[in-house]
């Protein structure tokens, strides 16, 4: 049975309803070099930057402030000469992080 539309109702036979999903966004500023790196890390040309960033691997290897405080409680506020030497060696050997923008 066909549906009849009456012109005196709130709905009109020519009306079109469209629903769109809203997504929270945040605007950020990037250096041109960072933008180009992000753009080149896309797997497909239409992949969103959000997906590229979420695909990146972010290792959690840094010591937090809470970890440092706990270590100071155990070891004391002063470090031994050996520990200070190791810290200086590690500082000299510090290399840039590996590429986190893996594709695939």
pLDDT for residue 90 is more than 70: yes
Does residue 46 contact residue 40 with C-beta atoms inside 8 Å?
no
Domain membership flag for residue 15: no
Q: What is the pLDDT of residues 3-50, one digit of tens each?
A: 555 555 555 555 555 555 677 888 999 999 999 999 999 999 899 999
The count of structural domains within the chain is 1
Domain membership flag for residue 11: no
Reported pTM: 0.39
pLDDT at position 21, please?
Answer: 66
Domain membership flag for residue 26: no
Backbone angles phi, psi at 35, to 5 degrees: -60, -45
Domain membership flag for residue 20: no
Domain membership flag for residue 1: no
Q: What is the pLDDT of residues 49-68, one digit of tens each?
A: 999 999 988 777 778 888 88
70: containing domain:
32-91
Domain membership flag for residue 70: yes
pLDDT at position 14, please?
Answer: 56
């Amino acid at each position: 049975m066909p549906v009849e539309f009456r012109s005196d109702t709130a709905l009109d036979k020519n009306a079109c309803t469209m629903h769109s999903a809203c997504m929270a966004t945040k605007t950020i500023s990037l250096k041109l070099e960072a933008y180009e790196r992000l753009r080149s890390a896309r797997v497909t040309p239409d992949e969103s930057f959000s997906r590229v960033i979420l695909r990146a691997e972010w290792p959690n290897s840094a010591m937090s402030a809470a970890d440092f405080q706990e270590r100071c409680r155990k070891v004391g506020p002063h470090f031994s000469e050996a520990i200070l030497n190791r810290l200086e060696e590690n500082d000299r050997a510090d290399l840039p992080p590996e590429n986190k923008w893996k594709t695939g």
